[in-house]
Amino acid sequence: MASASTGGTGISSSGDLVKKVGSFQEYVYSECSMDDLSPSKISVEEVHKIAILDIRIMNADRNVANIMCQRIPEDPDHFRLIPIDHGYSLRSVCDVAWFDWCWLDWPQTKVPLGKKARDYVLNLDIDEDVRLLKERLGMGDDVLDYYRVSCMILKSGVKAGLTLYEIASGILCRTDPSGECIGATFLDHTKDTFL
């Protein structure tokens, strides 16, 4: 709700824009969440999209209730995935555990990336993303360092031919909830060299 001092316009009496903090969300129709479906109803490409996003932003809260599903009209037995709730993403800690990514044990993550997903990952411009995140959202260096590392690990893993399962479970996730993620160790050892 706009403050009364701006007359609800977000513009002060002197004509200056008033900075407001909030979130903007688009409503997207869905029929259900992944709570209601078997992963067998989801294509490899759809699962890969969610996994790539979560690895890039180190989302520590991708549970089945945070993935909405839309039936594909041309193929009514299958669904398109819509990720929601990114509140535990782009953080200043690297503490994602195996149980934070519901898709990690889905069979699709063990399938090699298709050409489109592979090209997408290999063509990510990490430095440009970091610039935009800093400039437009004011993110701090600690957050951006972890973002940069997660993207570097993702790109390197894809380049080496690893599956998303291998990248996520073998490199980025903590297997011991009280342990440290390899990404944090990588950042500690390479910060001065690469960042």
Q: What is the pTM of this model?
A: 0.82
Residues of the chain with pLDDT under 50: 1-6
pLDDT of amino acid 132: 95
- Residues 6 or more apart whose CB falls under 8 angstroms from that of 180 comprise 94, 95, 174
Helix axes 141-159, 126-137, angle to 10 degrees: 160
Strand positions, DSSP E, the chain: 32-33, 67-72, 75-83
Q: Which pLDDT belongs to residue 2?
A: 42
Residue pLDDT, tens place only, 95-115:
787 788 999 999 999 999 999
**Distance from C-alpha of 20 to C-alpha of 8, rounded to nearest angstrom:** 12
